[in-house]
Structure 1
């Protein structure tokens, strides 16, 4: 019988729902992996008491320094620093092969900022730490969307669309996919309405088209198609044909994805030397530590399962 892989779980912002998800999903995920939680026992006991959830006896932890008051639903520099240290240590231990993959629970970007952390989020840190162009892909079995640009103002997106940069993104994305079957086709979305209408509504599509052509030439077959008119890209007939898309900016890809598959979706970092997946939702401060409501565990369990499957590939 194959041994279960050890999965590093960074606990996220302890003022949010991450620790509750970890405690409630433990019995399910331990069936297919060995989770190692990056939190110290003192903070774990504080969270457990507030949540009125018993800590499982086999809830194995890796010490992260920190001792402070948990403030449910509050943006706080102490929780921001703690979540960063949890994530950073989990990343290092995964890099060093102690853990076989990393799964992250949600952090709060403002809490990181308050703690003096220079990164806007997980992916920014991973890019800097590994000196690699990490690619953010989100979704589930029914639909995945990769984001060419991510957490930047919408006004900055057009100036970031450059042929060489997009070509390299497409090649790295293709090489990072678990499956590269010979029939794989990936639509690349246009930036402008009507794909620019031959330049009437914008010229960015010319750069996108060149990038697609050059990437396909490098791959030696037509994997990427487009640029596709964004407003018809996710209609049912298109989704019958395509399961993986490339979006030019954050909301272009995530609005249709979350409208269709919000509860199941996960976040995957590609083009890195480690396996990293995450939930596709935030800290949910509005419901953190509150009673008489359900916390959905699907995204987290799917993220762990996907990481385990990547380990086995």
Structure 2
């Protein structure tokens, strides 16, 4: 166990309070407090309201950083007030890191529709981080056995092909390499069978040209592809690669979540702060029922500490 003086301070963005985030934070608190100093971005009124719904008493050492605002928690409901509060909690956590009062941010799940209902332009945490820091934040999700970095994220599928450009991919590959080092990545093609040499599409030619130039710039073979997407995640293929680049959201996350749903996390790379997150949603269907798993959250905490220690 770390000496208490060596523990990292982790700002916890509490997420949508109509969902499972606060339950997870409370359930895991004793374990989390052994390995870091958690600082929860929530006010006392909202914390006690959540605890009443969960029929528990707040832990005596549950340290909070006050986030103004209040509303009536409605478990399992999509509401603007909950969306706004989750946004304010996240901004508070970011600012704690900027002020050097926290070493990293760990986020619990927000609800994208709730953010839209309260008038926010962002589709999620990564969009906000990208705009806030004016940096091309990279979304990478996974666990020790498999990580997937997403070239495009929350855009309609029909728009993905138009985003496949050599300069865009090259910029992405080089940023990813700077953020994570010379870890080798398998890069997925866009089309079925990776285009079958142009029979099913030619975006792979663009992907391969960007890979070649990125590797040349780095000075070694860091990126390999374009790989056939439907065989890239087989056990045999994963003997070679534990890290992949997917061209779009579901291409990478469907296999990841099928294999490692409970334990995966979300990491935001290429930013001036460290941010990790659970890799699941608000789970409104089980909110305040005592059923939420803490595994992804604990992995996010551990990864945040690890990144903050480097």
Range class of TM-score, shorter chain: over 0.9
User: How far 1:224 sits from its partner (Å)?
Assistant: 0.5
Of residues 287, 295, 299 in structure 2, which corresponds to 1:298?
Answer: 295
Matched, 1:17 2:20: yes
Distance (whole Å) between structure 1 residues aligned to residue 26 and residue 57 of structure 2: 8
Of residues 43, 58, 61 in structure 1, which corresponds to 2:61?
Answer: 58
1:21-36 maps to which residues of 2 (within 5 A)? 21-36=24-39
Which deviations, in whole Å up to 9, do the C-alpha atoms of 1:100-159 show, x marking residues without a partner? 000000000111111111111100000000000000000000000000000000000000
Residue matched to 1:205: 204
Which deviations, in whole Å up to 9, do the C-alpha atoms of 1:74-120 show, x marking residues without a partner? 01111111110000111111122110000000000111111111111
Distance (whole Å) between structure 2 residues aligned to residue 82 and residue 186 of structure 1: 37
Aligned to 2:285, what secondary structure does the other structure show? coil
Matched, 1:103 2:102: no
Of residues 57, 73, 83 in structure 1, which corresponds to 2:86?
Answer: 83
Which deviations, in whole Å up to 9, do the C-alpha atoms of 1:40-67 show, x marking residues without a partner? 0001000000111221100000111112
Residue matched to 2:249: 250
User: How far 1:237 sits from its partner (Å)?
Assistant: 0.7
In the alignment, structure 1 segments of 5+ residues that lack a partner are none
Residue matched to 1:279: 278
Distance (whole Å) between structure 2 residues aligned to residue 172 and residue 288 of structure 1: 37
RMSD (Å), alpha carbons = 0.9
Matched, 1:139 2:138: no
Aligned to 2:220, what secondary structure does the other structure show? coil
User: How far 1:3 sits from its partner (Å)?
Assistant: 1.3
Matched, 1:125 2:128: yes
Q: Given the two structures, how large is their TM-score scaled by the length of structure 2?
A: 0.98
Residue matched to 2:45: 42
Which deviations, in whole Å up to 9, do the C-alpha atoms of 1:264-286 show, x marking residues without a partner? 00000000000000000000001
In the alignment, structure 2 segments of 5+ residues that lack a partner are none
Distance (whole Å) between structure 2 residues aligned to residue 252 and residue 174 of structure 1: 21
Moved runs in structure 1, 4+ residues, more than 4 A? none
Contact 1:23 1:53 survives alignment (8 Å): no
Distance (whole Å) between structure 2 residues aligned to residue 194 and residue 113 of structure 1: 37
Of residues 59, 69, 72 in structure 1, which corresponds to 2:72?
Answer: 69
Distance (whole Å) between structure 1 residues aligned to residue 152 and residue 184 of structure 2: 21
Alignment length (residue pairs)? 307
Residue matched to 1:215: 214
Q: Given the two structures, how large is their TM-score scaled by the length of structure 1?
A: 0.97
1:154-169 maps to which residues of 2 (within 5 A)? 154-169=157-172
Residue matched to 1:170: 173
Distance (whole Å) between structure 2 residues aligned to residue 298 and residue 57 of structure 1: 23
Which deviations, in whole Å up to 9, do the C-alpha atoms of 1:270-310 show, x marking residues without a partner? 000000000000000011012xx522100000000000001
Distance (whole Å) between structure 2 residues aligned to residue 312 and residue 146 of structure 1: 22
Aligned to 1:64, what secondary structure does the other structure show? coil
